[in-house]
Amino acid sequence: MENKINELLNQQINFEFYSAYLYLAMSTYFSEINMDGFAKFMKNQAKEELEHAQKIYDYLLLRNEKITYQRIEAPDTDWVNAQDVLDEAIEHEKMISSKIHELYKTAKEKDDFATMNFLNWFVEEQLEEEEKFRILQEKIKAFDECSCTLEAMDRELNKDQ
């Protein structure tokens, strides 16, 4: 594997762990304001991010590649309401999608077909993640933070998880 691809994959592991950290912090925020459905949703997202990191880790091991460890940043937690949280989550997912695309582009330039094939799963997954957050964000926006409808959404999410 080319050094650049190894470097980007290791960096991606760090981004995925950071995503888990960020979503866990968002889950904490929702727990603290007693929105348990949203808290569960975010906790599940955090769990998925850990699985993403593990997937890349396993791929590097499979390719007998070096795994490097980097500092995981602390997320900012100064959200003011549910919409604020969802806005940040969706922006974050868009950033992650762009990182996956950058990785894919590099793998393509280097003719690393195995990595391109591996990344296909992530390209698909990012579409789903962005959509999941976007729907929730749109619903919150539509309800304009009316507490009764937000509470109803919270109950619905609580049932779904």
Helices (H), 63-112: 82-109
Q: Which is nearer to ligand FEO, 128 or 151 (CB)?
A: 128
Q: Among 24, 38, 129, 136, which residue interacts with ligand FEO (rule: CB under 6 A)? A: 129
Distance CA 153, CA 123 (A): 29
Site for ligand FEO in 86-105 (CB under 6 A): 93, 96
Residue 27: CA atoms inside 13 Å, Cβ hemisphere, count? 17
Letters for 34-63 (x = contact with ligand FEO by CB under 6 A, - = none) are: ---------------x--x-----------
CA 107, distance to chain mean position in Å, is: 22
Distance CA 52, CA 46 (A): 10
Q: Which is nearer to ligand FEO, 100 or 150 (CB)?
A: 100
Binding site for ligand FEO (CB under 6 A): 16, 19, 49, 52, 93, 96, 129
